[in-house]
Amino acid sequence: MDLSHRTILITGATDGIGKVLAVEFSKLGSNIILLGRDASKLDTVYDQLDHSFKSQKHLILQADLSLLNNESAHEIHNAIAEEFISLDGIIHNAAILGTMTTLEDYELSRWDEVLNVNLRAPFLLTKTLKTILETSMLPRIIFTSSGVANMGRAFWGAYSVSKFGLKGLAEIFANELETTSSIKVFNFDPGATQTKMRASARPAENPNTLKTPSDLVNCYLWFFSEESSDSKQHYFEYADLSKKVTAT
């Protein structure tokens, strides 16, 4: 798949799934906008990106999404608009797990941080970047879901609530944009994947029993394909989408 001349913003691009997507998408020619909170991790990923395509360029945006506000979201918009003609996609990947505890014991400050990173930031970034996305020929927004977005489970607290909220947010954006915009909105649950977050949620699990972030790349690529333009389905789980992409 040729992604040259496509510019994709990946939040939480310094680790786990986001980092692998940044590296793999860059190999296909994409311009990558790496958004993360840690400057040295951003530099390390930047150095791993492919720079060999003609006119390919990448951008680092250092931002702590727990603190995102109108002003910093507009700064992100302006930084992208200064460097690129258009924005072709946002992969809203950044998230934090928060604390695995009962609701009764959940610290309010931690609750707010999780909701800010996982739900408020994707809302504000999408809203602020919508106009620049609409300059793309094939614009995409991909939200990242989870198994606990559909069923409340003890101890998953703010993380689960944020993913329930994100599902609603994605559905509302999809519904609002399908008649007024060329932007396609998807919400994808990658399922259990070998990352730092998964290890924190399930410390007793053997990570070698899980798929790796690299196994997800073809699913994410499908969202950026012309084929997905005709999809009436917005919500996907890894198990179903991976079969679909293997079959095509």
Q: What's the min distance (Å) between Cβ of 39 and ligand NAP? A: 10
Comparing C-alpha atoms, which of 168, 169, 147, 170 is closest to residue 159? 147
Bridge partners, residue 92, by sequence = 143
Q: Does 119 bind ligand NAP (CB under 6 A)?
A: no
Distance CA 1, CA 218 (A): 10
Q: What's the min distance (Å) between Cβ of 233 and ligand NAP? A: 18
Q: Does 22 bind ligand NAP (CB under 6 A)?
A: no
Q: How does DSSP classify residue 211?
A: B
Considering beta carbons, is residue 64 or 178 the nearer one to ligand NAP?
Answer: 64
Q: What's the min distance (Å) between Cβ of 224 and ligand NAP? A: 17
Structure tokens of 116? 């800010």
Comparing C-alpha atoms, which of 65, 74, 80 is closest to residue 32? 80
Q: Does 36 bind ligand NAP (CB under 6 A)?
A: yes
User: DSSP 3-state assignment of 90?
Assistant: strand
Q: Does 41 bind ligand NAP (CB under 6 A)?
A: yes
Q: Does 49 bind ligand NAP (CB under 6 A)?
A: no
Q: Does 169 bind ligand NAP (CB under 6 A)?
A: no
Distance CA 61, CA 122 (A): 15
Is residue 123 within 8 A of residue 141, CB to CB? The reply is: no
Q: Which of residues 127, 196, 240, 243 is near ligand NAP by CB under 6 A? A: 196
Q: Which of residues 17, 21, 142, 185 is near ligand NAP by CB under 6 A? A: 17
Considering beta carbons, is residue 95 or 219 the nearer one to ligand NAP?
Answer: 95
> Is residue 159 flagged as an active site residue?
yes
Distance CA 64, CA 146 (A): 22
Distance CA 41, CA 239 (A): 31
Considering beta carbons, is residue 37 or 110 the nearer one to ligand NAP?
Answer: 37
Q: What's the min distance (Å) between Cβ of 121 and ligand NAP? A: 7
Kindly report the number of other CB atoms within 10 A of residue 220's CB atom: 27
Q: What's the min distance (Å) between Cβ of 213 and ligand NAP? A: 7
Write down how long the chain is: 248
Structure tokens of 243? 């079969």
Q: Does 193 bind ligand NAP (CB under 6 A)?
A: yes
User: Catalytic one among 106, 159, 220, 238?
Assistant: 159
Contact track, ligand NAP, 123-152, x by CB under 6 A? ---------------------x-x------
Is residue 153 within 8 A of residue 101, CB to CB? The reply is: no
Please give the residue ranges that form the binding site for ligand NAP (CB under 6 A).
Answer: 12, 14-18, 36-38, 41, 64-66, 93-96, 117, 144, 146, 189-193, 195-198
Which residues have a catalytic role annotated?
159
